[in-house]
Every structure is written in structure tokens, then in C-alpha cells.
Amino acid sequence: MTATDPALTALAQGWCALSLLHGKIEAHIERALQAHHDLSVREYSLLDVLSRQHEGDGEHLQMKQVADAVVLSQSATTRLVTRLEDRGLLERYLCPTDRRGIYTNVTDAGLELLAEARPTNDAALREALDEAARNPELAPLVRVVESLKAPVTLPA
């Protein structure tokens, strides 16, 4: 294959369209969450991911799993956890069975904010997808996103 190979050009164009769709959706949701709840998309995602973990031994997510779920590095995720902890939305504590492990839970205030922000997030997502669907280059990707029924799970 050469650099001007039509297959590579099509892949690059597809990747650019996907990246454009992601950027448009994320920017739209970011503006809505910031305006109404003083939350970034990453903060909302972190609260959402951590609110879905279960109580009990071995049921909490490790920081690497959390980082993968919010699509950040482990160090960026740790900084994000610290910011939300400083705001009283998260709390950390030592793992009762492994003193080296640190768990993170969403506080009642974090759960309340998440519940308030969820409709804003969902409406902004719907608006962004509807807007993107009017773009002929993005419409096929929007249809694919809308056709996904099962949640995407990341490998452990």
C-alpha cells in the first residue's frame, strides 16, 4: 500500500469523521454540563462510572479500570479524583483487605449532583446527535451510534 492508496484514504476519512463526531458531541455536552451544573464531561463521566460500582470485597474498580472507563491516564484520573474529592463529591478510603489499595466512592452530594446532571447530559447528547445527523458525512456514524443497544464494557 502506498500513501495515496484509496483504502488508506478511506480509512483516514472515516477516522476524521469519527473524530469530528466525537468532538462535536463532547463539546456540546461540556457546554451544557458546565452551564447548568459546573461539571466537565470528564467529571460527569467519573461520577457516573464510580456510581455504578458495587459495594463489597472485590467489587470496587481499580484506578486503572476507572482511567480506562473515562479515557484518561491513571495520573490524570487521580488528579480528577482529587479535584472532585476537594469538592466533597468523592471520598477515598483504604481497601480493608489490602492496605495498599485505595477505593473511591461517590458521596451523597456527588450522587445528588449526578442525578441532577444526568438529564442535562442525556438531552445534550440527543441534541448533538440530532445536529450531527443533519450532516451527510456524519449521519452514517450517528445511525451506528444510535443502533448500539448494549453498553460497551472495557476489558479488565
The b/e string for 143-155 (b: 16+ C-beta within 10 A; e otherwise) is eebeeeeeeeeee
Q: Cα 38–124–24 angle (5° rounding)?
A: 95
Residues 86 and 72: their CA atoms lie apart, in Å, by: 19
Q: Is residue 8 part of a domain?
A: no
Q: Is residue 86 part of a domain?
A: yes
Domain boundaries, position 92: 13-136
What CATH number is given to the structural domain containing 112? 1.10.10.10
Q: Digits of tens for pLDDT over the chain (156 positions)? A: 556 777 778 888 889 999 999 999 999 999 999 999 999 999 999 999 999 886 655 577 878 888 898 999 999 999 999 999 999 999 988 877 777 777 888 999 999 999 999 999 999 999 999 999 999 999 999 999 999 876 666 544
Alpha helices by DSSP H, the chain: 6-37, 41-51, 63-70, 74-86, 108-133, 139-147
